[in-house]
Copies of this chain bind each other. A is one copy, B any other.
Amino acid sequence: MSSSLALSQQIQFLKEIDQLKSVVRKSPLIDQSRKENSAEHSWHLAMYALILKDTADEPINVERVIKMLLIHDIVEIDAGDHPIHETSDNSVQEATEQAAADRIFGLLPTEQGIELKSLWYEFEAAESADARFAKSLDRLQPLVHNIETQGGTWVEGKVSKEQVTSRYGSVISKGSKALWQVASKWVESHFSNR
């Protein structure tokens, strides 16, 4: 049973993160009706983990991967979305995201806030098997959307096959060679038809 103060902090956090629904990403929905937002993207990635769990190269805890993906973009409420193909000052970006994590997870009761922030750091570091698989799905999903929308953000950003292979392949293949094996075929076929 939560204390009354804890419950009120938890509800405050849950109201605050409603804003993730207004963070618009570069990626289109598959029907191209609009760009995707980071909240529905997080839902989709949690579903990717649930469905594709057996494709991970290493033993993973799928429940931890799902939790990681549910929270992985929450810092964007303060720090904004930073697309793969955008060059920016990484150290400034990192500092902004860390401040965002401090503020937003800091709304929660102390212990719970620390637990989620540490899960977010684990995702960012991409050093555990769970985080590597989570990162790999976070790259795979926009790749699928780009393939399904005749190039999506790749067309907009004039991204080459070599850049896709390097920017997506390097991350996807670290979590799942099986997923990169099929995805690299889609990439090959996509660029050979252009």
Contact = CB atoms under 8 A, between A and B. Distances in A.
A15 B148 contact: yes
A70 interface: yes
A131 to B, nearest CB: 17
Nearest to A145: B18
A21 B41 CA distance: 9
A100 to B, nearest CB: 16
Contacts of A144: 11, 14-15
Copies held by the complex: 2
Chain A facing B: main interface SS: helix
A47 interface: yes
Interface of A: 1-2, 4, 7-8, 10-11, 13-15, 17-22, 29-31, 33, 36-37, 39-40, 42-44, 46-48, 50-52, 54-55, 63, 66-67, 70-71, 108, 112, 141, 144-145, 148, 178, 182
A30 B2 contact: no
Q: Which of A1, A40, A108 has the most CB of B within 10 A?
A: A40
Contacts of A46: 43, 46, 66, 70
Given A33-B22, A36-B21, A14 B44 contact: yes
Contacts of A30: 15, 18-19
A22 B18 contact: no
